[in-house]
Structure 1
Amino acid sequence: MATPTFNNFDSEKKRVLEDKEDASRKGSIDAPVIELVKYINKQEDYYTTSSCSGRIIVFSENTQTGKEGTLWLLTSHETVSIDNVLSILKDRDIPISCYTYYKFEPFVLHVSCRTLEHAQAILRIAVSSGFKNSGISVSKKNKMILSVRSTQTLQSPVAFDGKLIVTEQYLCHLVKISNEKLEDNFQRIERFYKLVREVCIPTEPPPPIKPNCLNNSHSLLKVQEKKKERVDDDTSNHDYLESIDQLFH
């Protein structure tokens, strides 16, 4: 059986990378993943289509209009303080009938791949790096998009009509947990970037990535040690990888 291949890969990659307009609300690549995105885009068989390094957000959403009435109160790609969050919740004028949510969103990356084999190679890396919710989608034209993502999302309503509906102690726990998740998120990105460099053929010596904006140093596993270790201690993860192989071979 022939391997699925996206025939217009090269022309589509050129078009996407030459498009200077960033469609995200922020309008630019997040600083913690700039080197990772640049490195992938330099590879012959891959290019990125969207990314987010992970963030902590506070937003209000109208119960009737939904996302159309969303008011963004805080967006941070670094850890936040309880004082900052409380100040935002208490000092901003929130429209009536709006719930305010505190949310942590983990790293997400979408990569277009030339063939299914190329997508599978990065999928294995993503899963072994801790992004166990990753997967591959294939369009009718055989366009293969690898989604790198995890299950670390955290969300909780914290206010309604501009008034807190939780205690400050509860908010403190939310801030603490989300900050810990963000630090762990950056460590996973670091592992992922290291393993990607081992699989992809570099066009030039890749620069080290420093995704942790908190200036915490995280040691990377040696290549030799990584090869000797199991991909994951979780047997369900092992079964997942086997099922992927059976599905596409």
Structure 2
Amino acid sequence: MVNNAIDHSGGESVLVWTTQDESTLRIIIADDGVGIFAKIFHALGLPDMRQALFELAKGKLTTDPSKHTGEGVFFTSRMFDSFEISANGLQFNHDASLPNDWLQEESGVFPDGTAVFMRISLDSIRTTAEIYSQFTDAPEDYDFSRTVVPMKLARFGDEELVSRSQAKRVIARFDRFRTVILDFSEVREIGQAFADELFRVYAGSHREVELLPKNMTEQVERMWLRAVSPRAT
């Protein structure tokens, strides 16, 4: 996280703060740069800054591939009990006790730059090997080949996932993985065009990428089955 601040923030200073009591270690790393979500927004030419959080949740995202693999934030967030990035009026949160990442629009404690808040229990039994094994084929292969995509983060505001353009937004960079688990928790329904673009059009042209939906409502499952079922001739 410190290296990210040094290499990407464009700021002049980095604050590193730690505290520990009898049960918990807490770490804050903050810089005075441009803010991680603004950096991603401009580097990838995204239509909405909130999409930067969705791309971050997928993993393998970096604005400087010559220096970084884009795996640091993803894996670090899963090493801790709770992990939060605050920047540009947005917050990205990962909590080990909850099923999904989430985002919210809220001003952070620091007025500029990026702040990362990390917390872990001192009696945590979580290991790095355990974390890597969830997203790689370790121990045979430690390549970051599997990711979990929280589909609720693909929605902006009150919108539902109904269009082909939304599906194309979702599938960006899927080809960097062999397996993509699509977690539909808190997504009540999807549209026919969205499902068709994702599960038929994209899946049909990218057979090297396995798409695995989970936590589907009955409506989402119907749209999925409709998209993957062979068409009658």
Q: TM-score, normalised by structure 2?
A: 0.30
Q: Which has the higher contact order (CA 8 A, sep 6+)?
A: 1
